[in-house]
Structures are given as structure tokens and as C-alpha cells.
Amino acid sequence: MIMRFDADWMSRADDRILEHLTEEGPDTPKEMADSDRVWFSRQHINARCKTLVEYGLVIHLGNGVYDITREGEQYLTGDLDARDLEAD
């Protein structure tokens, strides 16, 4: 079992968003909200994606499309402690 170290700034949606981007590739908050994995509103997913960008776990590719970064992948595998991240 993978042990993930989340931070106080993270929400329950964040892991679902990162998992979705890992499995499905770059996507929009609307598409994530319509998926079976991320059970949150498009507005909440959009807000969380912006926060994940600030902390370097997600990158905004433009036109509302987000993708996971190498750091985001490392967090999912338990190789990165999100408590060590600082917002840009």
C-alpha cells in the first residue's frame, strides 16, 4: 500500500484529480466532473486545479486543460511529501 503525505492546504478532491490526470491524461475540470472518478463540481475541481498549479503538482496547458507534473506523479507514488511544497 502506498503511503501518501498530504498537506493542510489539500482537499479530498486533490487525490482524485491527480489520479484522473494520471490515468486519463490532460483534461478539463468539466471532463473530470463528468467522469466516474472525480465526484465534485466543475467549479470545485477548477478551483482545486488552480491550487494544485500553485504548488507544482499540476500544470495548466491553456484553454482550461490541466495535466499532472512529475512532482504530482511522485506525490501519488508516495515519493514526495506535499507538506514540503510551497506555493509559487
Q: What is the pLDDT of residues 9-31, one digit of tens each?
A: 999 999 999 999 999 999 999 99
Q: Give domain status of residue 51, yes or no.
A: yes
Domain that holds residue 21: 12-80
Q: Give domain status of residue 28, yes or no.
A: yes
Q: Give domain status of residue 46, yes or no.
A: yes
Q: Give domain status of residue 59, yes or no.
A: yes
CA 21 remoteness from chain centre: 7
Predicted confidence at residue 72, as pLDDT, reads 98
Q: Give domain status of residue 4, yes or no.
A: no
- Give the total number of structural domains in the chain: 1
Q: Give domain status of residue 24, yes or no.
A: yes
Write out the E strands in the chain. 58-62, 65-68
Find the CATH number of the domain harbouring 35: 1.10.10.10
Residue 1, pLDDT > 80, answer no
Q: Give domain status of residue 87, yes or no.
A: no
CA 16 remoteness from chain centre: 7
pTM of the model: 0.94
Q: Kindly report, residue by residue over 27-69, the tens digit of the pLDDT.
A: 999 999 999 889 999 999 999 999 999 999 999 999 999 999 9
Q: Give domain status of residue 2, yes or no.
A: no
C-beta separation of 82 from 11 below 8 A:
no
C-beta separation of 40 from 13 below 8 A:
yes
